[in-house]
Amino acid sequence: MAIQLPPNSTGSILDTRPENGRERQIVSVGDPLRTQPTRRPNSGRILYVNDFRSLNSSMWNDGVGSASRDTDIWFGGNPTLRLDPQGQSAGAVTNPGRTAATSGVVVKQRIHDGFRQKYGVEAWFRMTSTNLTSNTFFSMSIYNRDGAQAYHGRVWLDPNGNNQPMVARILDGTASAAASGGPGGSTAVYTPVLTSVSQNGAGTHTFYPASGRVDRAGGWHYVKMVVDFAALKYVSIQLDGEAVTDLSAYNMDVTTSTGFAGMHHSFELCATTTTRPRWVNLAHMVGTVED
């Protein structure tokens, strides 16, 4: 007879097996358990978790507005991160662009990497307030720079109206380069790659206390995107409970950039008008290496 106790939070396992007629204890230490909640329990080795349970995180907003810990809106027993452009407009943009609009929120985690591995980011998000189903652009990105160019993988999480199927549109590198005349132009082309099921805008389940809307549950979406920095191609995407979609046919977008040469895992929220509020909340962001 052998007895195995479940792993603890660090992955340690207490095991026993018979030896010379007696049960001997065996302790083995494995990889940490996958953090919860997630919809892809076996995807990637965790680099970091931002679950916003602490007063601060390693994320930072280098756009206008704010990205702050929100103790009104919780997920999985933890506070969340509220993205708020604070009424600033990014002008007449029609999509999240080839590079992030810093006239909106650009909240990010940075990790250095030399274009050698596949990386993933997963998170839960909620369309919290009113005013998010038009004139607003919310996206998630994984990008890196080498001192001369930037290499972007970005998915535009488009609610596509209220109570409509949400559409995941990726920044299409080949199509954007063709439309822009190369890496120097600014015309971004987003290609729809995945559609979720209905009920994807906030619907009536919004949070905006000044108007009396205090739905703290909302409806949470899940997204995970993986990109390959060695091949400079997308790998896959998942949205909510839909099947993982293969994106290996798509190139990451290449733009001229002398900006900070480091890898960024980021979320962007911008708007074309100054209407308020426009709040999107993030929860349980996890960065992974997928090789």
Partner 1 sequence: MTIKMQFPLTTLPTANEQAGVSPLTVTASGNSREYPELGSFDSGIFFLDVTAVSGTTPSLAVFFQGYSPISEKWHDIITFTPQTAVTSTVIAPVTASLPYQTYRTRWTVTGTTPSFTFSLGVIVSASESTA
- Catalog residues that contact partner 1 under the rule CB under 8 A: 54-56, 61-66, 68-72, 79, 82, 84, 86-88, 102-103, 209-210
**What is the radius of gyration, based on Cα positions, of the chain?**
21
Least Å from the CB of residue 112 to partner 1: 18
Picking from 206, 208, 217, 96, the residue whose alpha carbon sits closest to that of residue 162 is 206
DSSP per residue, 230-274: TTTEEEEEEETTSPPEE-TT-BPEEEE--S--SEEEEEEEEESS-
d(CA 153, CA 192): 14
Least Å from the CB of residue 282 to partner 1: 14
Q: Which is nearer to partner 1, 181 or 209 (CB)?
A: 209
Q: Which is nearer to partner 1, 25 or 54 (CB)?
A: 54
Picking from 279, 22, 291, 287, the residue whose alpha carbon sits closest to that of residue 125 is 279
Least Å from the CB of residue 218 to partner 1: 17
Least Å from the CB of residue 62 to partner 1: 4
Q: Which is nearer to partner 1, 28 or 211 (CB)?
A: 211
Least Å from the CB of residue 61 to partner 1: 8
Q: Which is nearer to partner 1, 79 or 159 (CB)?
A: 79
Q: Which is nearer to partner 1, 64 or 168 (CB)?
A: 64
Q: Which is nearer to partner 1, 115 or 208 (CB)?
A: 208
Which DSSP letter does residue 7 get? P
3-state DSSP call for residue 137? strand
Least Å from the CB of residue 66 to partner 1: 5
Helices (H), the chain: 173-180
C-beta separation of 269 from 277 below 8 A: no
